[in-house]
Structure 1
């Protein structure tokens, strides 16, 4: 149906279209424009002369950018499999339980970490991994370990950020997988369990096709979130110690708002967007298969 200005459908859609244009499309176009220009916030008198692909060339030849991107990819490769595995394990446990009230309570409980904002997660992480009075060192003391300087050691700081991300987003994976498991026909599942007692066979041959769409969505959404992860890391470690947790989004923020080079930061952000799109296409191509 054609959407005319007088059509009610147009006016119902207009707020969403306007919000998308203002919040998503306009900033993207501004960033794309800035990436082809020299734009120094600290020197507005210089204007914004056109420099072509110079910002992109400078970015691709910047060792610090590649280091930050490498740390981000390492974080993605280590954290995402853990979240997927733990989320699938939790979903299978909830799916097998016969208590409806327990599943309902678990669903509500799983939403709590997801509803916590990134900045608050970072602040919680600073408290949990504090050297003097953090919960992490308190628990390790029962094992005769510590106290560890979680946020002062480069490796431990990286692990601490991983733990907080796993805590926050494993429930998201569990809920997505649980939704996929709920689509499996009960009769087919009961018959499969009678045929074989091995749950791995049931998971691979019967439940896997129903889990693949959710797995693809998890990988796309979580990869995009991790590549642009900023708030939790910045409030928790400020990218330190040194540059141990300076992920690419933190590095872009430093270039754009500490060194005031908006042109370079915009070029880096556009390259990050391209990388996210490429990863999404790869996930759809190699992970998702329609049953």
Structure 2
């Protein structure tokens, strides 16, 4: 096969995928960057003008933006580590020999929360956390605890969002960690179990090196998902009460769809994208030697 034929064959196979990626990914990104450099308010559509980095300066000096970033950061630093700890624990339990059909049933149960769309999960949470007929308050009532106003109280609403995010995505972490544990050579793990019965020693010296690639993937994916968390929170609390659960993605939606300031919303979104890329590269650099 000549070089020209080979190149044309590669182009024929990859061309449609590259075109689709550019159409649905790169083009909107470039459009968003371009709009972030303009004053563009839908209520004043005839007054579009190039303003350079003025939108970025407005965003970075806006206390509302930093408050939403703070709320998002707290959500991330509480939710994601909790998901990792619980996910690794569940994976270690399922990795133990002798579970048989119970392992398969548990895996199936773990798929259900993360297979449900964000919007449906938010609506389900809205019903379950309802102060009058929600099942959460019913369980608290069995323990002699008075009903809690989950959605109507700022602190409780924030706690409910964290709890629900952990519930939905801990199974994802568990399945990724379980897949990583399946790559551990059985003979090495069995020899380690015969040598020492300490689970911590086996985890640290045998299993942990195989968990690192999966851990990096989980950190990157969950960081991106947490920073852009919108659907579940919007259907659950609408960003309220007040601004208690107005995370950065909720703020961007409010700026663009309710204040109609597309230029400012685009600048907020680009800043969020840059932050996500920076954190992803930081994870890879931090675990580079282990991943390589």
Task: Give TM-score, length-normalised by structure 1.
Answer: 0.95
Question: How far 1:101 moved relative to its partner?
Answer: 2.1
Partner of 2:17 in structure 1? Answer: 16
Partner of 1:31 in structure 2? Answer: 32
Instruction: Report the 3-state secondary structure (helix = DSSP H, G, I; strand = E; otherwise coil) of the residue aligned with 2:276.
Output: helix
- Structure 2: distance between partners of 1:288 and 1:108: 33
Aligned residues: 290
Partner of 1:243 in structure 2? Answer: 243
Question: How far 1:288 moved relative to its partner?
Answer: 4.8
Greater displacement, 279-288 / 229-238: 279-288
Question: How far 1:43 moved relative to its partner?
Answer: 1.1
- Structure 2: distance between partners of 1:39 and 1:241: 29
The one-character-per-residue Cα deviations of 1:240-259 (angstroms, maximum 9, x if unpaired) are 00101000000011111111
The one-character-per-residue Cα deviations of 1:193-225 (angstroms, maximum 9, x if unpaired) are 112111011000110110000001001100000
- Structure 2: distance between partners of 1:2 and 1:112: 48
Q: Retained in 2: the 8 A contact 1:216–1:288?
A: no
Partner of 1:60 in structure 2? Answer: 60
Question: How far 1:102 moved relative to its partner?
Answer: 2.1
Greater displacement, 90-99 / 16-25: 16-25
Instruction: Report the 3-state secondary structure (helix = DSSP H, G, I; strand = E; otherwise coil) of the residue aligned with 2:132.
Output: coil
Partner of 2:44 in structure 1? Answer: 43
Q: Retained in 2: the 8 A contact 1:212–1:289?
A: no
- Structure 1: distance between partners of 2:100 and 2:128: 33
Alignment of 1:89-104 (within 5 A): 89-104=89-104
Structure ranking higher in helix proportion: 2
The one-character-per-residue Cα deviations of 1:263-286 (angstroms, maximum 9, x if unpaired) are 111011100011101111111122
- Structure 2: distance between partners of 1:289 and 1:146: 52
- Provide structure 1 residue ranges, at least 5 long, that are not aligned to the other structure: none
- Structure 2: distance between partners of 1:187 and 1:193: 10
- Provide structure 2 residue ranges, at least 5 long, that are not aligned to the other structure: none
> For residues 33 and 97 of structure 1, do their structure 2 counterparts lie closer, same or farther at Cα, with a shift above 3 Å needed?
same
Instruction: Report the 3-state secondary structure (helix = DSSP H, G, I; strand = E; otherwise coil) of the residue aligned with 1:43.
Output: helix
- Structure 1: distance between partners of 2:110 and 2:85: 16
> For residues 146 and 10 of structure 1, do their structure 2 counterparts lie closer, same or farther at Cα, with a shift above 3 Å needed?
farther
Alignment of 1:81-230 (within 5 A): 81-230=81-230
- Structure 1: distance between partners of 2:112 and 2:102: 16
Greater displacement, 119-128 / 15-24: 15-24
Question: How far 1:167 moved relative to its partner?
Answer: 1.2
- Structure 2: distance between partners of 1:6 and 1:146: 70
Question: How far 1:107 moved relative to its partner?
Answer: 1.8
Instruction: Report the 3-state secondary structure (helix = DSSP H, G, I; strand = E; otherwise coil) of the residue aligned with 1:229.
Output: coil
Q: Aligned-pair RMSD on alpha carbons? A: 1.7
- Structure 1: distance between partners of 2:37 and 2:81: 37
Question: How far 1:6 moved relative to its partner?
Answer: 8.7
- Structure 1: distance between partners of 2:30 and 2:273: 13
- Structure 2: distance between partners of 1:82 and 1:107: 20
